[in-house]
Amino acid sequence: MRLTITKSILLALAAISLSLSAAATEKDTVRAEDFYIEGIREYCGGDYKDAESLLTKSLRMDPDNDAAMYYLAMISLSRGDSDRAMQMLSQASALSPENKWYSLATARLYVNIGEIPLAIDIYQDLIEKHPAKSDYYYEFIELLVRDNRLDEALSTLDKLEQLRGSDELTYNARYEILMRQNRIDEAEAVVRKMDKDFPSARAALILGDMSKSRYDDSTAMYYYHRALEIDKDFAPAYFGLAEIYRMQRNFYKFFQSINAFLSSPIMNPEMKASYLNEIVFPSGMVQLFKPQVDTMMNNTLTAHPEDTTILSLCGSYFIATDSIDKGLSLLEKNVRLHPDVKSARSAYMGQLYYLQDWKRLIEASTATTAMFPEDFTLREVLAVAYWQNGDIEEAIRTYERILKDIPQDHPMLINCCGSLGDLYHELGNRRKSYSWYEKGLKIDDDYNPILNNYAYYLSEERRNLKKAIEMSRKTVLSEPENATYLDTYGWLLFLTGEYEQAKKYLKEALVYGGKESAEVLDHYAEALFALKEYNLAFLYWGNADKLDPSLGLGKKIAERRAEAGR
C-alpha cells in the first residue's frame, strides 16, 4: 500500500527543497536536510532504492526527523514489509502526535493487516480532533460496517449528513447498511428518496430488483427500462430484464437482453461464468437453443477475450457441443496467456482426458507437473495418460516417483498402491501386483477398488478363492448397487459351486448396469447353464456375443449347445 501525496504536501516539499538547497550552497558540508531532500526527490521519481538509502542517511544524522521516518514507512509498505512500516510510523507519530498524515497512514496500515478495530480507534480520534473534516467520515463508516458495528455506522452517517448534507454516496451507504440489518422497508424508502433527489440507473436498478423479489414483474420491468433510459449501456438492467423474460419463457426477448449483459466488458466475468454454469447449462437451453447459446458464449468471449475463467468455460462448452477444434484452441490460448494459472492447465488437461487424446495429455501433463510438482493429483493424471497410451512401464515409473515424494498420510497414497497393483498385473508380474495390493490394504483394508481387483485376479487363477470371496463380500456390503462388485462376487460364488447364490448376485449386477458388459452377461449365462436353465443361458450368451464379438464366445456357445444336447 502506498499513500498518495496531496498537492498541498508536494507544494510544501518544493518550498522546503528550494530553501534548503539554497542554504546548502552556503556551506561545503552535506547536512541531514540535504540527504532528506534528495531522498524525497528520488521517492517522487519512483526510485525507492536510492530514496531509502538517502533517507536512512538523513535519519542517522538527525534521529528526530519524523518526515524521513514517514517516507521510509511508505517505502517499506511498497515492498510489503508491514512490520518495518509500522515501526517507522509509530516512531514518527511519537515525535509528531498531531500529524494527521501519520495517523491516517497508521490506520490504513492497520486495515491492510486486518486490524480493523485499531484502525477504527484512530479514525475516532481524528474525527474528534477534526470534526469538520468530512473525508474521514466515509472511511470511518466503511470500517464500522466491515466490523459489523452497523448502528454506529448509521449514527456516523447522520453526523456526516448534518455536516455536508445528503448526496448519492450517503444514500447508497445508508441503503447498504439497512439492507445488512434486514430493514428492507426502510432501505427501500431510502432508495426511493435517492431516486427522487438524485435519479440514477443504479437507483432504478435497485427498485427494479426489489420489485422482482416480490414477483411484481411489471413494476420491475418499468424500473429496468427506466435505468436503461438513463444509461442505455447499463448492463445490470439488461440482466434484470433477461431474468424476467426467462421466467416468462419469452426466449426471444431473453436472448436479446442476456446478450446485451454478456457483451458488456465492464461486468464481472466470474459472475457471467457462474450464471452460465448454474442457470443456463442445467436448464436444457443448449439442447433447445444451441445456436442462441453459441451466440451467448461468443459474446461473453468477445467481452473478455483473455480472461482465464471465460476461456476455460467457453473452451469446455465448445468441446462438449462438438466444436472440438475451436474449444481446444481456446483452452490452449488460456494456457499460453496464463501459463502459471493451475486451473487453466487443469481445464485443458481435463478436456484432453475427456477426448482420450493421450499423446497430447502426456505433453500437457508433463509441462504442468514440472511447474506444480507438489500437486500429486496432476501427477497422477500423467501416470494415467501413459497407462491409457499403452506405456505401462512409464506409468509405473511415474507412480513410483509419486510415491517417493508423497506424504505417508496423503489420501492418494492407497490409490497409487492400487494402480501399481493393476499395472504390474497388466505386465504379467502377479507377485509384484499382489504385493502392491497388500501394501494398499495395510493402509485401509476396506478399500473397495483394491479388494475387487485383487479378488477378481485371484478368481482368474482359481486359487485362494476363500480369501477372494471374503474380500469381494466386503465390496458388495458397502456398495450393493455396484455392478462391477456384484459381478466379481457372483462369479466367485459360481467358481465355488454356489450356483443359486451366484445367479442372484449376477442378476443384480445386470439390474445395476451390467447389461452393457459382455463379460457380465457371459458370467450370468454360465450360472444359468449350471442350473440347467439352457434357453435363458443361450439367450444371454447370444446377447454377449453381439455386444462384444472380440470375446470369441461363438466357439464356447457351440460347445455348450452340444453338451446340453441342443
Instruction: Specify the DSSP class assigned to residue 231.
Output: -
Total domains in the fold of the chain = 1
Q: What's the alpha-carbon Rg for the chain, to the nearest Å?
A: 36
| Residue 129 forms part of a structural domain | no
Give the integer Cα–Cα distance in Å for 378 and 368.
8
Report which residue type is found at 310.
Answer: I
| Residue 494 forms part of a structural domain | yes
Q: Does the pLDDT value for residue 506 go beyond 50?
A: yes
At 295 the pLDDT is 97
Q: Does the pLDDT value for residue 134 go beyond 90?
A: no
* 268-277 confidence digits (pLDDT tens): 999 999 999 9
| Residue 368 forms part of a structural domain | no
pTM for the predicted model, two decimal places: 0.75
Lowest-pLDDT choice from 103-107, 238-242, 333-337: 103-107
* 90-120 confidence digits (pLDDT tens): 999 899 988 888 988 898 899 888 999 999 9
* pLDDT band, residue 434 (cuts 50/70/90): very high
Give the integer Cα–Cα distance in Å for 129 and 548.
87
For 427, the 3-state DSSP assignment is: coil
Q: Is the Cβ–Cβ distance between 240 and 220 less than 8 Å? A: yes
Lowest-pLDDT choice from 8-12, 76-80, 284-288, 401-405: 8-12
Return the closest-CA partner of residue 374 out of 412, 324, 347. Answer: 412
| Residue 546 forms part of a structural domain | yes
| Residue 561 forms part of a structural domain | yes
Q: Cell 517499506, residue?
A: 76
186-194: long-range contacts at Cβ-Cβ below 8 A with a sequence spacing of 24 or more? 194/168
At 282 the pLDDT is 94
Q: Does the pLDDT value for residue 26 go beyond 80?
A: no
CATH label of the domain that carries residue 472: 1.25.40.10
At 163 the pLDDT is 87
Report which residue type is found at 58.
Answer: S
Which CA distances in Å does 420 have to 295, 426, 434, 445? 46, 10, 10, 17
Q: Which domain holds residue 514?
A: 466-566
For 115, the 3-state DSSP assignment is: coil
Q: Is the Cβ–Cβ distance between 197 and 189 less than 8 Å? A: no
Residue 63 C-alpha cell reads as: 534521529
| Residue 525 forms part of a structural domain | yes
Q: Determine whether 98 is exposed, middle or buried from the number of CB atoms within 10 Å of its CB (0-12, 13-18, 19+).
A: exposed
Q: Tell me what percent of the residues of the chain surpass a pLDDT of 70.
A: 95
| Residue 521 forms part of a structural domain | yes
Give the integer Cα–Cα distance in Å for 267 and 313.
16
Q: Determine whether 199 is exposed, middle or buried from the number of CB atoms within 10 Å of its CB (0-12, 13-18, 19+).
A: middle
Which CA distances in Å does 421 have to 47, 205, 402, 407, 547? 60, 61, 15, 20, 29
| Residue 345 forms part of a structural domain | no
Q: Tell me what percent of the residues of the chain surpass a pLDDT of 90.
A: 81
Which CA distances in Å does 419 have to 220, 373, 407, 411, 476? 58, 20, 17, 14, 21
Q: Cell 478399500, residue?
A: 447
* 180-221 confidence digits (pLDDT tens): 999 999 999 999 999 999 999 999 999 999 999 999 999 999
66-71: long-range contacts at Cβ-Cβ below 8 A with a sequence spacing of 24 or more? 66/91, 66/92, 66/93, 66/95, 66/96, 66/99, 66/102, 67/36, 67/92, 68/36, 68/39, 69/95, 70/101, 70/102, 70/105, 71/39, 71/40, 71/43
Q: Does the pLDDT value for residue 24 go beyond 60?
A: no
- Average pLDDT score, the chain: 92
